[in-house]
Amino acid sequence: MTDLDLRFYYSAEELESASAYELAEFRAERLEALRQDYISARTAVMDLAKGQSVVRLTIAGKTIEYSQSDFATLRTLRDELLVELRQLLGTTANRVFRAKTSKGL
């Protein structure tokens, strides 16, 4: 994660006065929060795919309700969280080929 990425989550004053150790802590906090958000989104996608009619997802302190009609939106959110998580970890994305079945999975 670059300092530009950290500016999205922390104020300029926090970043300017932060030591290298504190910046590493900021990154670690963001990584853990992002990991939890991704796990929550992945679980919500699977619950909808299993036939649950409504799921609630809390990300960054906001709770959002998704229904079967929002399945594609929720999958996109999950994928975006995974991309951000991989960028933060410095890993490259693998090529993904999607096959769509009659149930949308």
The verdict on residue 96 lying in a domain is: no
CB 70 within 8 A of CB 62: no
Q: Is residue 34 part of a domain?
A: yes
Query: Residue 64 belongs to a domain with what CATH number?
Result: 3.30.1580.10
pLDDT confidence bin for 4, thresholds 50/70/90: very low
Look up the pTM and report it.
Answer: 0.67
Instruction: Say yes or no to pLDDT of 2 above 50.
Output: no
Quote the pLDDT of residue 76: 92
Tell me if 27 is assigned to some domain.
yes
pLDDT digits (tens, 9 = 90+) for 23-72: 778 778 888 888 999 999 999 999 999 999 999 998 878 899 999 999 99
In a domain, residue 39? The reply is yes
What's the number of domains the chain is made of? 1
> Higher model confidence: residue 14 or residue 55?
55
> Which structural domain, as residue segments, surrounds residue 12?
3-89
* Cα Rg of the chain, angstroms: 16
Closest CA to 73 of 62, 57, 87: 57
Nearest to 46 by CA among 22, 1, 78: 78
